[in-house]
Amino acid sequence: MALKESQQVLEAIKRSTRPLICVPSAGGPDAYATALGLAKVLKKLEKKPLIVAADGKAPKNLEFLKGHEEIQPRLENMRQFVIELDASKTKVDELTYEMKNDKLYVYLSPKRGFWDSKDVRTSTSGYRFDLIICIGSPDYESCAHLYSENPDFFFRTPVINIDHTPENEHYGQLNVVDLTASACGEVCHDLIEAIEPGLIDEEVATAFLTGMIAKTKSFRTKNVTPKTLQTASKLIARGAKRDEIVQKLYRTRSVETLRLWGRALARLKADEETRVVWTLLSQQDFMHAGSEEPDLPDVIDELIASSPQAKVVVLLYEMKNRNICAIVRAERPLDAIALCRGYNAAGTREEVRLCLMDKTIVQVEKELIGSIKEHLRQ
């Protein structure tokens, strides 16, 4: 008899020693918080997980969740180069090394005798990680540079794909994709509860509920179901700190972020025909507000709250290197990836990020917003 999905996942985790949890580009607070909760579960199972996120460190409003500082922005030291020496007849007395002209020299001193080239072999070790768990990534490409720089690793390593969106391509060896769920936090709760409910303690419950609250805008989105609310009540019963979550996600804003909000709202523009809303932020805006790029998710959330009729929200901003970047959010059934086709955008159908070089923010505004509106009219 075939194993249940939850049992298949458990068996894959049992066979793993160092699982890697991937948060895709534009994964948002749901993917980050769910990854943190899942990492705690894996540690309880005596595994050594690492979280790597395409967009870098966790958003500021998630810094109350333990372990957020351990999230890595890139995959590094994936494999080791191995030098094998046959020391069965001639023992090693001393090993030293030095760097010279960008070359590494390794010196081995024998106790007696000597070695020659036939006593030495070189090889490459296997990958550091033996399991990949993707959280909220509809496809490999959504993992951005994590995938594009390491495609062989993704194809040679078992993948558990956890998501709740209909766009998911079921690319994993195990696909835990629940279309009835409102968030990845909800999917992971149901999965872990089916494996072993006792693994969900206060910290895990708080992380999963954080993902659910962030994704559903505190249970106000259209995809909230009675099952979603029931899952939330289960997490609260297990110790999830709902009041703290709401406080950190929605009621705690720095003065710098509020200043940036003001500058973004002052330049808010809208097209009534296509229901596109957008704004611009220059480097001067960041300097005057005393704010930085990590504050931008809060800004775009405020734009959405201020424009309830908008179908597409675009935030254009100038980087320190003068490149112009954009965050584009689209309301279903619109597809942000399709709307930004041709701009090398990375992310999901709900949100993508893109950057353009050698153009001013006004030029990008005219080009990108014009292209999006044209797509919508078609």
Phi, psi (rounded to 5 degrees) for 74: -145, 160
Work out the average pLDDT over 11-34.
94
Q: Give the model's pLDDT for residue 302.
A: 73
Q: Is the pLDDT of residue 2 over 70?
A: no
Question: Can you list the domains of the chain with their CATH numbers?
Answer: 5-75+128-249 (3.90.1640.10), 81-124 (no CATH), 255-377 (3.10.310.30)
Q: Give the model's pLDDT for residue 344.
A: 85
pLDDT band at 3 (very low <50, low <70, confident <90, very high): low
CA distances 329 to 118, 151, 278, Å, are 60, 27, 10
Q: Give the model's pLDDT for residue 224.
A: 92
Work out the average pLDDT over 267-275.
91
pLDDT digits (tens, 9 = 90+) for 39-52: 999 999 999 999 99
Q: Give the model's pLDDT for residue 162.
A: 97
Q: Which of 111-115, 209-213, 244-248 has the lowest mean pLDDT?
A: 111-115
Tell me the whole-structure pTM to 2 decimals. Answer: 0.79
CA distance 170 to 78: 25
Contact predicate 136/172, CB 8 Å: no
Work out the average pLDDT over 187-196.
95
pLDDT band at 309 (very low <50, low <70, confident <90, very high): confident
pLDDT digits (tens, 9 = 90+) for 199-231: 999 999 999 999 999 999 889 888 899 999 999
The residue ranking higher by pLDDT, 125 or 112, is: 112
Contact predicate 50/18, CB 8 Å: yes
